[in-house]
Amino acid sequence: MDALLALEDGRTFACRSFTGPGQATGEVVFNTGMTGYQEILTDPSYSGQMVVMTYPLIGNYGVNPEDIESDRIQVAAFILKEYQPHHSNYRSTASLADYLIDQNIMGVEGLDTRAITRHIRNAGAMRAVISTDELTPASLVQKANEIPQMAGLNLAKEVTTPQPFCWDNGKPQPFDPDQRPLDQTVWQHRGAKRSVVAFDFGIKFNILRQLEHSGFELVVVPSSTTAATIEAMAPDGIFLSNGPGDPEPVGDAIQTIRSLLDYRPIFGICLGHQLLGLALGAKTYKLKFGHRGANQPVKNFRSGKVEITSQNHGFAVDTESLQENDVEITHINLNDNTLEGFRHRKYPIFSVQYHPEASPGPHDARYLFDEFKELMK
């Protein structure tokens, strides 16, 4: 089915929908990963974004119920060079097209994804519309310009869990806070396992899998949870998750984190890293086209090693503004020298911009979960 992708700057790309009729809006970004499209689709950090895959052939191994990072597809649309409808893998249970159609997510193919990627690299990530119903370029470009800018959007509140839940044996276990209050009695394995409260700003399941694998008992709480509630729970550590959108509008969480800086060890990832930086008085800014893929080189100053990392973010913490706040810079990105990690010199606090759980991606940085455990000792 014929479709048209229109960017806010007026450039358009003819394409075909492989998921039927429809229209989608969002910010167009690109991901350089060769595999892991199902994890990308279900990563809450992609909320509000239409993802271009730079690898040309997508769909060949289908989808399955294990390789998900949340309870639903999070991307606004999926943009491919070539869709492969004949999937083949022993774990596959459905085709990519059926998966997208089932959740009413638009998928298009037949575009020059290299041209889109180069355009975004030159001009920056931008708003766009994809439609099968309206194929008039000028009309779609106008619609693209009416979409809210990503900067200034608090998307964390859109993807966070509405109710707290435990993560046990690789699965979320919901509970009623009225029957199981958020205080010290919430922990079922107190003493046997280190207890960790994980703030859900858009948390990926594999982060929770890795935390559980490290021996923690986990309670996941909504992004709006107050410092008083956390102190009533008296955890051994606090985890700040990944998530979508601009960190600055997530004001309540920033204030909560600031109140907890000297309370317990804190570990932040991605959006959690940015929120922790803001809580320490630093500034954040929007990157031109972001870092999205499984091959970003990061220098670890503490070990002297280079780690190949999985990343998905469009904002970054300003290094100079952070260094004024008794903070040690621990990691930088070797592609553009942006900040990738820091730790506080006084408080047991550290964070990284990338994804050490790496789903998909390399496992170079999984040692960070053990470092978090050591801080609690």
Catalytic residues: 270, 355, 357
What sign results for the dihedral spanned by CA atoms 369, 374, 375, 377?
Answer: positive
DSSP SS3 for 100: helix
Sheet holding 237-240, edge to edge: 171-174, 165-168, 216-222, 194-200, 237-240, 266-269, 349-352, 339-344, 327-333, 284-300, 306-317
> Distances from the Cα of 117 to the Cαs of 95, 124, 160, 225, 290, in angstroms?
26, 10, 30, 38, 12
Residue length, the chain?
Answer: 377
DSSP SS3 for 364: coil
> Distances from the Cα of 313 to the Cαs of 33, 57, 113, 286, 335, in angstroms?
14, 24, 20, 9, 15
Q: Are 9 and 35 in contact (CB under 8 A)?
A: no
Question: What is the separation of C-alpha 288 from the centre of its chain, rounded to a whole number of angstroms?
Answer: 17
Write the Ramachandran bin of 110: left for phi over 0, alpha for psi from -120 to 50, otherwise beta. left
> At which residue do the structure tokens 């940085």 appear?
365
Query: Does an H or E element contain 276, and which?
Result: helix 271-279
Pull the structure tokens for residue 365: 């940085």
DSSP SS3 for 165: strand
What does the DSSP 8-state code read for residue 181? -
Distance CA(41)–CA(56), nearest Å, equals 16
The answer, yes or no, to whether the previous bond of 360 is cis (omega within 30 of 0) is yes
Pick the closest to residue 49 from 28, 69, 33, 78 (CA basis). 28
